[in-house]
Amino acid sequence: MSGFDLLPKQQQAFTKLLENKVGALFMKMGTGKTRVALELVNAVSDLDLVVWVAPLRTIKPLNDSTCSVIDEVSKWGGFKADNVMFIGVETIQSSDRQYLDLYKKIEQSQKCFLIVDESIKIKNAEAKRTKRLLELSRMAEFKLILNGEPITEDLLDIWAQFEFLDPEILHMRQDEFKNTFCKYTTITKRFGGYKQYSKEFITGYENIDYLYSLIGEYVYECDLELNVEQIFETKNYSLSDEEKQEYQFLKEKYLDNERLLAMNNNIFLEMTQKMQHGYCCNQEKVKLAREWIKDEAKTIIFCKYIASAELCKKAFPKALVLNYKTGSLGLNLQDRPYTVYFDQTFDWGDVVQSQHRNYRTGQEHDCRYLRLIGSVGLEKLMFENNKKKIGTAEYLKKISKNELNKII
């Protein structure tokens, strides 16, 4: 191990997984999974190849002032191996050339350690990235997966992750896993008497004790415990007359009877995104954010749209402006304890991820978050759903179309 001391829970994780050739760090975002992974890798002698697979934005951040996972690994002394590769999971999926190059390197290595950060990316067994990662895993002797969500967050995704580590851990096909641990139902919608659409929903989980008996030896889980506070604030803004007219026009266009009957997640998201985009550059939002921001250089601003992101970059040049999808995973931004949610989002998971960019191990300051809420039903709906920690799919299952029309 390096000369730096591990924190108590990091030491527990290291000790538990040290004796196995494969393991899973299901540690809450911000608890220091990268550091534990580094020590586990360096505890294996004579490695000739270490491969770190992660979302590309954590390897090559969009902003030069943001530390990459390469910087973080280097800070703790780096990997003690002859060859080290960092590669984006997106690259493995999209580039045949780079995938084959990586395949050959692992195939030719004598002792390889393969790590997948944000292992939630290994889920759909039919996806190209999952198939390729499973192929690579069969050639690596040592493997580790890192994930910031608890095991039971989306249980069906667990199968592919443990298939990656070692098929003998679960020793069951995906359909067997689903039938053993998931409760589900199928809902069929019919349109016009001859068209129908069926979708399967997981309604709960069962036999969790049995699952832990299979995987418990290989997993370390922990929550994040810090001595600093998370402080949440909201400010309300009004749409201009022009923005209100555009909002109402789109509402009437998208919430007609025919579209309401066919409403699903995709149609709902398309509708609400177009409605929200119409007022995303509201000038009162800029004014409220400017009044709230204490130190621009220590502030993160999350946006949903290119237009609002460009506006914020011009208005707040020292702040770090990020998109929820490309900026809420994996980055360590603890030097920026202030966060502005310039555009709201329905995706509660993205909100949680974004909060842990600065609220994480090593943070010495209270973290403050500002949410801007517009004067229309859509804004209040997103805010209330986030408070209840529910996403779009769950919400649409609970509400009638007429109720939706009244709320928005």
pLDDT, tens digit (0-9, with 9 covering 90-100), for 196-213: 777 777 778 888 889 988
* The pLDDT of residue 392: 62
- DSSP conformation class of 255: T
Q: What percent of the chain has pLDDT over 90?
A: 53
Domain segments of the chain: what residues? 8-222, 230-407
* The pLDDT of residue 149: 74
Least confident of 65-69, 291-295, 339-343, 360-364: 360-364
**Rounded CA separation 312/297 (Å):** 13
CA quadruple 306, 310, 311, 313: dihedral, nearest 10:
140
> Span 151-160, mean pLDDT?
77
pLDDT, tens digit (0-9, with 9 covering 90-100), for 276-323: 999 999 999 999 999 999 999 999 999 999 999 999 999 999 999 999
**Rounded CA separation 394/405 (Å):** 17
Pairing of strands 367-374, 338-341: parallel
Establish whether domains 8-222 and 230-407 are of one fold. Answer: yes
Beta sheet of 299-303, edge-to-edge order: 230-237, 367-374, 338-341, 299-303, 320-323
pLDDT higher than 70, residue 132: yes
Pairing of strands 367-374, 230-237: parallel
Class of domain 8-222: alpha beta
Beta partners for 113? 50, 142
**Sequence-separated (6 or more) residues with CB below 8 Å from residue 115:** 37, 41, 50, 51, 52, 53, 143, 144, 145, 146
Contact call for residues 218 and 225 (beta carbons, < 8 A): no
pTM above 0.85, yes or no: no
Radius of gyration of the chain (CA): 23
Count of other CB atoms within 10 angstroms of residue 303: 24
H helix or E strand, kind and range, residue 198: strand 195-205
Sign of CA dihedral 64, 65, 70, 74: positive
Domain covering 230-407: architecture = 3-Layer(aba) Sandwich (3.40)
**Rounded CA separation 130/138 (Å):** 13
pLDDT, tens digit (0-9, with 9 covering 90-100), for 62-114: 777 678 899 999 999 999 998 999 999 999 999 999 999 999 999 999 999 99
pLDDT, tens digit (0-9, with 9 covering 90-100), for 233-252: 999 999 999 999 999 998 88
* The pLDDT of residue 398: 64
pLDDT interval class at 193 (50, 70, 90):
low
**Rounded CA separation 48/64 (Å):** 30
